[in-house]
Amino acid sequence: MTWKKLAVFHLLLCVSPQVTAQEKPIELSKVVIDEEIQKSLFESTHWMPKGGIILLKQEDALNAWSRMQREPCLNTLPTSPIYGLIGFKTEHLYIFSYRNQLFTDWVVCRKNGALDFHAYSISGGFSRDNPKQGQDICSAGNNNVNVRFRRYEKTGPLLLEVDMGGCRIEAKYELLFALDRDELYEVPGSRFTIEDFRSDQGNGWFYWPVKYNDYTRFEKLSWNEDDELQWQKTLYKIPTQFHDPNAHYDHRNIPKITKSCHYSKDNKKIVCKDKLKNKIELKMEHIYEQCKVEDVCGYDEVSLSYLSSIKQSLPSTFKDLGYFMKEDEKKKLENL
């Protein structure tokens, strides 16, 4: 059966059920498959066989989509036409990747009809306690959430990899979900956040890419001797006192770290370790420059509070992040 015939078949499914006087008709999305979009959409999923995820035949995917549109999972989606639709299933879940007039989106439905995950719903942010729970959608009208399958064990199951850019801020978020239960669950240790406005809560520092525009989730990606996925990336690890409202960190005198991670197939989690690549001498001139960037210079109480926080962090946080001060520079700071 061709894509065109399948699209017509789906439309018949949408209009054929009889509606009683007591029932309210449900408006369903039209699915008009475009072959080029369909091919590109499938390739973007990076699905592989024998990964615990079953690829549905197109007719079965359309049937499942039509059925879920009558359930809470899909009945709140916009009813704009769908030009590409790829369906998958596990024992407990239906997984859909689709393309509408504006963007590509992913939805995961539980087979009882409940919504489990909707990529676009977290485009404007998500709950720290539950990354599947969106807090807003991107008001810019686009979808900044990219989703794909990837194996983290060479012969293991496919996991669902999620990458987000900031909707209105320069930020990046990385999530990873397993699909072998009755709902998606976040792989422990997998969440990675780059955002300077909240920092890594309570740690006194935040990560930032050395080259923001060229940042990728993996810089060096390979299999280790245990057939587990391993990777590295180079980052800044910046003290919160050196926050820049304009996010101009590329040329700043900041130590770099190498973040090395791997997937532990025994513990089913991501394990990472940071290693300093270099150390930087911290001088008072750097602190004064940062004071200007933060726009706290010239206000005595604020300036003193800012400098005091650096004094308190110098023996611990700053040292751990690769900064050191010579004795004469330390005395200058202490005498302020």
DSSP state at residue 242:
G
Q: Average pLDDT of the chain?
A: 84
pLDDT of residue 233: 95
Instruction: Report the residue count for the chain.
Output: 336
Q: Which of 85, 72, 76, 68 is nearest to 6 (CA)?
A: 85
Query: Mean per-residue pLDDT for 66-74?
Result: 94
Banded pLDDT at 212 (limits 50, 70, 90):
confident
Measuring CA to CA, how many Å separate 326 from each of 17, 29, 123, 227, 282?
A: 80, 67, 46, 46, 8
Q: In this predicted structure, which of 110-119, 286-295, 318-327 has the lowest mean pLDDT?
A: 286-295
- What are 237's strand-pairing partners? 207
Q: In this predicted structure, which of 8-12, 222-226, 234-238, 292-296 has the lowest mean pLDDT?
A: 8-12
How does strand 280-281 pair with strand 323-324?
Answer: parallel
In the predicted model, is pLDDT for residue 274 greater than 50? yes
Q: How many CA atoms lie within 13 A of 68 on its CB side?
A: 25
Please give the Cα distance from 21 to 232 (Å, whole number): 61
- What are 164's strand-pairing partners? 145, 173
Please give the Cα distance from 267 to 265 (Å, whole number): 6
Q: Which residues contact 154 (CB under 8 A, 6 or more apart)?
A: 223, 227, 228
Listed in sequence order, the DSSP H helices in the chain are 3-15, 35-45, 58-68, 284-293, 300-313, 319-320, 327-334
Full-model pTM: 0.86
Measuring CA to CA, how many Å separate 143 from each of 45, 72, 94, 184, 288?
A: 16, 21, 21, 20, 40
pLDDT of residue 243: 79
pLDDT of residue 111: 95
pLDDT digits (tens, 9 = 90+) for 276-317: 999 999 988 888 777 776 665 654 555 777 788 888 888 888
pLDDT of residue 8: 40
pLDDT of residue 12: 36
Query: Mean per-residue pLDDT for 227-245?
Result: 89
Please give the Cα distance from 75 to 113 (Å, whole number): 10
* Ordered DSSP codes for 78-146: ----BSEEEEEE-SSEEEEEEE-SS-EEEEEEETTS-EEEEGGGGTT-B-SS-TTSBS---TTSS--EE
pLDDT digits (tens, 9 = 90+) for 1-57: 444 444 544 443 343 343 333 444 445 678 999 999 999 999 999 999 999 999 999
In the predicted model, is pLDDT for residue 123 greater than 80? yes
CB 29 within 8 A of CB 83: no
For residue 283 the two structure tokens come to 């001088």
Q: Which of 86, 83, 102, 103 is nearest to 36 (CA)?
A: 83
Please give the Cα distance from 195 to 216 (Å, whole number): 15
In the predicted model, is pLDDT for residue 188 greater than 50? yes
pLDDT digits (tens, 9 = 90+) for 242-259: 877 676 665 667 899 999
pLDDT of residue 5: 41
- What are 176's strand-pairing partners? 161
pLDDT of residue 23: 42
Please give the Cα distance from 124 to 298 (Å, whole number): 36
pLDDT of residue 4: 46
For residue 311 the two structure tokens come to 């004094």
Q: In this predicted structure, which of 62-71, 99-108, 181-190, 302-311 has the lowest mean pLDDT?
A: 302-311
The gap between the terminal CA atoms of the chain, to the nearest Å, is 79
